[in-house]
A = this chain, B = another copy of it.
């Protein structure tokens, strides 16, 4: 899927976009990341009733640093489909997303959502461009079934993003059969204010509500295929145990996996390193980076590789029980959230859906 951007995108004018739920932690990431985007221009920000009418600069910025200068002067709108945008990024909480996202799709907007509301229903594609960009084909069926002039596309759970990007090249080459994964997840994944310092300081919490089910289900969807306009999940099995650890950003996954054809660690490393990138503004040249040092990847040292868009894999070695063990790190609020949705939007543009 090598995309020639020149074919699709007229760079003479940026596409007007809005961020729904712009005052939460993920919404702020969208605003931060879109500040200098080559294709998109933020023209509207929405928030809850409490913040409607305020300028964005008056709301509490929870990320480090300051909000982009341009955004600071914008007035926060309601999340109703009368925004001067063609494309909206949804950072809405799930229960709001459930109601609001379809209203935008019905009104003709392209919705790139980071919420979990429609990851598995309404014919909504769940997309990581390098992994299953071809699932965009579901949009046709979505539009005819829902009667929408617009569309909804979702990005997966942050942890699953790291897992699916690690598994995809291996699945293509060797056929994934079984995956036992233990995660060590960053606190930022729980949003703001999220986790109390008193709970997580110097501690591990061996449970994240709903996370294990998302990992087990969404990874099989992402590696599934489309046949006759229907999505078929891949049929490998996943056993996940999710832990919260005192790390700010960056999820770490300890993986044991078996395959239809057992690869050597070297074969696995090569296949991962050669996984091709896309020609899109936010896409890294190498979606998966392989490190050979004994003590890598580490979330703090590797999460920001390729602007937080690459997954870093290391400690690839034979497993005494399944075929391989390895460790992956993914930036949960960049590739695993806001940047992932922006990349989805770029793919939509490149593929002519806007």
Chain A residues packing against B (C-beta within 8 Å): 25, 62, 64-65, 178-180, 182, 184, 187-188, 192-207, 209, 216, 237-239, 241, 243, 245-248, 252, 254, 256, 294-302, 304-305, 314-315, 319-322, 325, 327
**B301 to A256, Cβ gap below 8 A?**
no
- Kindly state the separation between the CA atoms of A239 and B62 in the bound complex, as whole angstroms: 30
Residues of B within 8 A of A238 (CB): 320-321
Whether A187 touches B197, Cβ cut-off 8 Å, given contacts A65-B304, A202-B247, is yes
CB-based nearest B residue for A201: B248
**A298 to B204, Cβ gap below 8 A?**
yes
**A245 to B248, Cβ gap below 8 A?**
no
State the Cβ distance, A228 to closest chain B Cβ, in Å.
Answer: 28
Whether A193 touches B198, Cβ cut-off 8 Å, given contacts A206-B252, A239-B321, A243-B184, is yes
State the Cβ distance, A164 to closest chain B Cβ, in Å.
Answer: 17
Residues of B within 8 A of A179 (CB): 321
**A246 to B246, Cβ gap below 8 A?**
yes
A-B contact pairs, 9 of them (CB 8 A): A62-B198, A65-B302, A178-B321, A182-B254, A194-B198, A196-B197, A203-B300, A239-B322, A254-B254
**A295 to B178, Cβ gap below 8 A?**
no
**B241 to A254, Cβ gap below 8 A?**
yes
Q: Which among B25, B178, B204, B301 is the interface contact of A203 at CB below 8 angstroms? A: B301
**A200 to B198, Cβ gap below 8 A?**
no
- Kindly state the separation between the CA atoms of A25 and B196 in the bound complex, as whole angstroms: 13
Whether A314 touches B64, Cβ cut-off 8 Å, given contacts A187-B201, A195-B197, A248-B201, is no
Whether A202 touches B239, Cβ cut-off 8 Å, given contacts A182-B182, A197-B194, is no
**A315 to B65, Cβ gap below 8 A?**
no
- Kindly state the separation between the CA atoms of A315 and B242 in the bound complex, as whole angstroms: 11
Residues of B within 8 A of A321 (CB): 178-180, 237-239
- Kindly state the separation between the CA atoms of A180 and B320 in the bound complex, as whole angstroms: 9
State the Cβ distance, A117 to closest chain B Cβ, in Å.
Answer: 23
- Kindly state the separation between the CA atoms of A314 and B205 in the bound complex, as whole angstroms: 11
**A64 to B201, Cβ gap below 8 A?**
no
